[in-house]
Structures are given as structure tokens and as C-alpha cells.
């Protein structure tokens, strides 16, 4: 094997390594982007649910509020 063939093989191996590293870096970047998107989606979903709960609470009727209260036991409000 001549020196030029050996040198050419070394360069090809290096190019292959660089390509793989580049691909790995792209995949890592894609993975981090997907994680960020998922986190953002979850935060948006939580915000939406909290807003919906707040809206439902504000629109409750007096009857619904009374039913949810702890007025079932009048002794709880009696002065001791």
C-alpha cells in the first residue's frame, strides 16, 4: 500500500467521522427542540385549564356555590 492510498483512507475515515458527528449533532438539536416544544405545549395546556377553571368558577350560580359550601353542619358556625 502506498503512502497516498493510506493518506486517502485516513481522509475518508475522517470525513466519515465528521459526517457522523454532524448527524449526531443534528439529532441532538432536533431532540432538544422537540423537548422544548413539548414543554411549551404542556405549559400552554396548564394555562388553558387554569383559565377554564377560573371562568367556570366565576360563572357558577348561587345554588352551585351553596351546594359546594360546608354549610351542612350548622354547629360548625355556632360560637362556643
Question: HEC string of the chain?
Answer: CCHHHHHHHHHHHHHHHHHHHHHHHHHHHHHHHHHHHHHHHHHHHHHHHHHHHHHHHHCCCHHHHHHHCCCCCHHHHCCC
Residue 55: inside a domain: yes
Whether residue 40 is contained in a domain is answered as: yes
pLDDT at 66 over 60: yes
Tell me what the mean pLDDT of segment 11-25 comes to: 71
The yes-or-no verdict on residue 72 having pLDDT over 90 is: no
The reply to whether 47 falls in a domain is: yes
pTM (2 decimals)?
0.51
In a domain, 52, yes or no: yes
**Has residue 58 been placed in a domain?**
yes
Domain span at 28: 17-66
Is the pLDDT higher at 60 or at 70?
A: 60
* Each residue's pLDDT tens digit, 32-53: 999 999 999 999 999 999 999 9
Domains in the chain: how many in total? 1
The span from the CA of 11 to the CA of 45, in Å, is 51
Amino acid at each position: 500500500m502506498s503512502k497516498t492510498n493510506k493518506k486517502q483512507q485516513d481522509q475518508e475515515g475522517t470525513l466519515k467521522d465528521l459526517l457522523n458527528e454532524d448527524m449526531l449533532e443534528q439529532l441532538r438539536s432536533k431532540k432538544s427542540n422537540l423537548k422544548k416544544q413539548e414543554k411549551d405545549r404542556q405549559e400552554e395546556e396548564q394555562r388553558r385549564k387554569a383559565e377554564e377553571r377560573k371562568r367556570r368558577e366565576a360563572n357558577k350560580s348561587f345554588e352551585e356555590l351553596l351546594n359546594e359550601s360546608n354549610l351542612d353542619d350548622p354547629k360548625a358556625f355556632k360560637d362556643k
